[in-house]
Every structure is written in C-alpha cells, then in structure tokens.
C-alpha cells in the first residue's frame, strides 16, 4: 500500500477555495492534466455518490466517485472506480484549513493505493508531483484569473433554481422615513448574467432618501430601496466569468434594492473586493468613494493649486472629497452645520471651514480667497445653496451639482453663468460606471486611494437593517458625521 501526501498554502479565503473544490467536476477548469470530464447520469456535482468520468491529456481514462463531502469541516473524500492506469483501491482526501495569518488557506491532499510491484516510486511521483503539485499550481492560477475566469460546474446555477427567503426594508409608498417597512422577500436563483449575494453590510446614501420620497422615480412601491452593499457571492448565472461563489464583493448601482439580506442582481456592476477591504468598509465606500473619484478625476479634473469648495464637508462624500482634493494639491474650503462637523472637516484636510445652517457662505469664501472665489464647487446640497454658489464661484469657475439634499436646483438662466464664464455640471455616478471597464477603473482607483491612505473611512453610524427608518431620520436631520451603514 502506497501513501502519498502533499500540502500547500493557497493565497485565497477558505470559502472561495472550497467553493471551487466542493464541485466534484470543477477540475476541468483548473487542473492542468485533465482534458475533459462529465458527471454521470446528470447528477449534481456536489452530491455524495456521484461519479465523474474524465480523461487525462495523456489519453488515460478514469472514473472516480465522491464518497464524502463536509461543508463544516471543508473535507472531500473520493475513490477510483475504474482507470486505465494500474492503480487499485485508490482513496484520496482533500482537507482545507483556515490560515489565521492573512486571508489564506492551507490545503492538505493525501491518498492511499496499490500499484504493481517495482512501480511504486513511479506512481508515487506521478500522483505527488503530476497530480497534487500540479493541482496546487493550477488552482492558484485559476483563482488569480481576473477577469475571464470560466465559471465551473455546479458553482453556476441556471435560472429556475432554488429561491431563498430573505428580510428586506420596503418603501410601502412614497413619503417620510415611516414608509419603510420590514417584510419577507424572495431572492430568486440567478439567471444568465446575474449573481446572488448574501449582504454583510449595506450603505445608506442621500439618493435613498430621494428614492423613498419619490423625487427619483426609480421604484414603484412597495419595493426595497438602497443602491450600495457588500457581501459574499452565493451563486452565479450562466455567462458570468468574473465572479465565483465565495468571492467577497461590493456594488453601487441602479436599480434600487440593496436593503435586503440576500439579493439577485446583474453581475456586470459587481466588483471583487481586495483582501484588505472588509465588507463594512466596502459598503460605506463604494458609492461615496467612486463619487469622489469621478468628481475629482473626470467631471472636473482637479489641478494642484486650485481652490475647492466642498459642501457638507463632514458628510460621507464630503469627507472623502476633502481628503482626496487635499492630496491632489488643492486648497480646500468646506461648509458644515456644526462645530463638531467643523472639527471632522479640518481633520479631513480642510484649510478653512464655514459653519452655519443658513446656506450663507459666499462672503466667507471670498474672504478666504482674497476676493477671488472658488475654482470649483462640489455641491451635494442643491437648491438652498444655488444662489450663493454663483456668488462664491471664481471667474471661469466650475459648479458641480452632484446632489440635492435641500431640493433640486431650479432651471438656471444662461445669463447667470455668462456673468462669470462659469461652467455648470450635473453628473450622475451611474452614467460614469455603466461601462464595466470604466466601473473597474473607477473602483480600483478608489481602492488604491484607500490602500495608500489618500482617503480614510471612519464608520461611526451602524444600524440594524430593521432600523433603516431611524438611519434616514438621522441622515436627514444633518446630525451624522461620515457614512452610515445597515447590518442585515
């Protein structure tokens, strides 16, 4: 009897590695010696007792049976039923263990088998090096393949599969925070091009308020709201190549529907999280961080030495804009409503902070700039700040209105812009991220800014999902500092 063992460290979370290995037919996607494989009798590839019938690239043919599978212990055991290779009574076990030093996985693979006398070392080397060590390298390469990794076996579930019941916060009608009700909802199996995600954290944004009130008619009540969340992939539909079950992911996109525990949505707007970004951070970062990225690098390409006015400078987007603009070499002026928020804005890089609730700031901006005004205004306030924005703007300045917390801006008279040769923009994040390549570029630059310390997040406001109405009240009262998240 020959015993062969091999172990390796895989640089991926255990859930992601197991999502691949528990599929008994996935080896065609990652193992370099396997040519083709099929599960007999159309049985599920994670069903104990199923048989995989496959050929090797050297022409040999093998039938193996899955004997045991444990999702709690991350163990899979299988045996050879028939083979053109002279190997008898072959039984192998794969076991995964979580590595506490980093998000990595320890993979131990061992087998016992008989082979003709005199050929023991030959087959021990064949299994140990050609099969096991080759498998380690093949899986590493497969897990690194981004994008373009082919979906594997039963990790891809077609439409019409099992529907899951989840809890969600639904806008029962358009109105105030009290219209948000907790209800059981269905998260259907993903269809082609879709992914089903179990949320770990959900972002709260002012656009959710607009949707809840009906100012943005993106839903028809009763329906869940929310545009941003992070979690773990449960399963993916046909044609999804860049995601695998077990991946940690996040998104910020229309249509609304993020205020739920489990959600099925189009996969092309979902990105894989870097190892160093946890789900709470991602849920607080995606929409607000990508908004800061496109405002500073695309809508108005900020140049070193420019003066920036950031409204709501202690808000979720505002704090990121201040930090990032300062890192780009701008002089940053912020407006806030309280002294506590002023301290937060200064800590985020503001050179000057204007405190007040009356939306009167133009004179202070001119005082801080020796009468010149701001080269660019990043405005998430909307109507209440409109007149002062024009007064605070420098000659040939750029007013970027990306939000309307105080209501939508009335129609602007062209003459009002002519007076300063000013530019007015009203951008929307989702137009910038509609193209997947652009989404990936914006998201990766945002993650890199976080990694380098250009931007920092301090999540001070966490609410249970069922308390979404209170989160909205706090957001609208202008009492919060930084991002808000919901925890399913």
Q: What does the DSSP assignment read for 327-353? A: HTT-EEEEEESSHHHHHHHHHTT-SEE
120-148 burial code (b ≥16 CB/10 A, e <16): eeebbebbbeebbeebbebbbebbeeeee
Beta bridge partners of 233: 197
Q: How far apart are CA 106 and CA 234, in angstroms?
A: 22
* Total length of the chain: 488
Beta bridge partners of 463: 486
* Strand blocks (E) in 180-247: 180-187, 194-204, 223-224, 228-236
The low-confidence residues of the chain, meaning pLDDT below 50, are 146-160
For residue range 155-197, list pLDDT tens digits in order. 334 334 689 999 999 999 999 999 999 999 999 999 999 999 9
Q: Give the 3-state secondary structure of residue 419.
A: coil
Burial class (CB in 10 A: 0-12, 13-18, 19+), 168: buried
| Domains annotated on the chain, with CATH | 2-155 (3.30.530.20), 164-287+433-487 (3.90.180.10), 304-426 (3.40.50.720)
According to DSSP, residue 376 is labeled E
Q: Are 390 and 421 in contact (CB under 8 A)?
A: no
Q: How far apart are CA 189 and CA 66, in angstroms?
A: 26
For residue range 396-435, list pLDDT tens digits in order. 999 999 988 888 887 776 778 888 999 999 999 999 999 9
Q: The pTM is what?
A: 0.68
Sequence-ordered list of residues with C-beta below 8 angstroms from that of 245, at least 6 positions apart, any chain: 16, 19, 155, 233, 234, 235, 236
Q: Are 226 and 256 in contact (CB under 8 A)?
A: yes
Sequence-ordered list of residues with C-beta below 8 angstroms from that of 278, at least 6 positions apart, any chain: none
């Amino acid at each position: 009897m020959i015993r062969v063992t091999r172990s390796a460290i895989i640089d991926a979370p255990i859930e992601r590695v197991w999502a691949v290995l528990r599929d008994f037919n996935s080896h065609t996607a990652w193992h370099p010696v396997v040519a083709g494989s099929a599960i007999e009798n159309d049985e599920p590839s994670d069903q104990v007792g199923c048989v995989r019938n496959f050929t090797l690239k050297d022409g040999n043919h093998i039938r193996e049976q899955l004997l045991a599978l444990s999702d709690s212990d991350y163990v899979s055991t299988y045996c050879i039923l028939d083979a053109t290779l002279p190997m008898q009574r072959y039984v192998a076990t794969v076991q995964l263990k979580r590595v506490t030093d980093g998000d990595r996985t320890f993979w131990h693979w061992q087998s016992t088998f008989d082979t003709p006398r005199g050929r023991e070392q030959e087959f021990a080397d064949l299994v140990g090096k050609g099969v096991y060590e080759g498998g380690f390298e093949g899986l590493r390469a497969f897990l690194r393949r981004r994008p373009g990794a082919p979906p594997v076996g039963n990790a891809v579930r077609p439409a019409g599969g099992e529907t899951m019941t989840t809890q969600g916060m639904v806008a029962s009608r358009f109105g105030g925070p009290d219209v948000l009700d907790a209800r059981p909802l269905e998260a259907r199996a993903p269809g082609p091009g879709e992914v089903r995600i179990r949320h770990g954290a959900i972002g709260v944004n002012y656009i959710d308020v607009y949707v809840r009130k009906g100012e943005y008619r993106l839903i028809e009540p009763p329906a869940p709201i929310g545009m941003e969340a992070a979690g773990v992939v449960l399963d993916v539909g046909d044609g999804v190549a860049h995601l695998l079950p077990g991946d940690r992911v996040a998104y910020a996109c229309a249509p609304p529907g993020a205020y739920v525990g489990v959600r099925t949505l189009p996969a092309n707007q979902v990105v894989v999280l870097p190892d160093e970004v946890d789900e709470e951070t991602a849920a607080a970062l995606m929409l607000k961080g990508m908004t800061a990225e496109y405002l500073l690098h695309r809508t108005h390409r900020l140049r070193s030495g420019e003066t920036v006015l950031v409204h709501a400078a202690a808000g979720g987007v505002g704090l990121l804009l201040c930090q990032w603009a300062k890192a780009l070499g701008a002089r940053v002026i912020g407006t806030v409503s309280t002294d506590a928020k002023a301290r937060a804005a200064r800590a985020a890089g503001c050179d000057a902070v204007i405190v007040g609730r009356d939306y009167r700031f133009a004179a202070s901006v001119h005082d801080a700039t020796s009468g010149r005004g701001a080269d660019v205004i990043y405005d998430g306030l909307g109507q209440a700040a409109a007149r002062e924005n024009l007064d605070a703007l420098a000659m040939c300045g750029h007013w970027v209105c990306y939000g309307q917390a105080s209501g939508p801006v009335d129609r602007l008279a062209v003459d009002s812009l002519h007076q300063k040769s000013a530019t007015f923009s009203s951008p929307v994040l989702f137009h910038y991220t509609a193209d997947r390549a652009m989404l990936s570029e914006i998201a990766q630059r945002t993650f890199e800014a976080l990694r380098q310390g250009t931007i920092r997040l301090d999540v001070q406001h966490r609410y249970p999902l069922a308390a979404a109405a209170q989160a909205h009240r706090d957001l609208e009262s202008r009492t919060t500092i930084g991002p808000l998240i919901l925890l399913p």
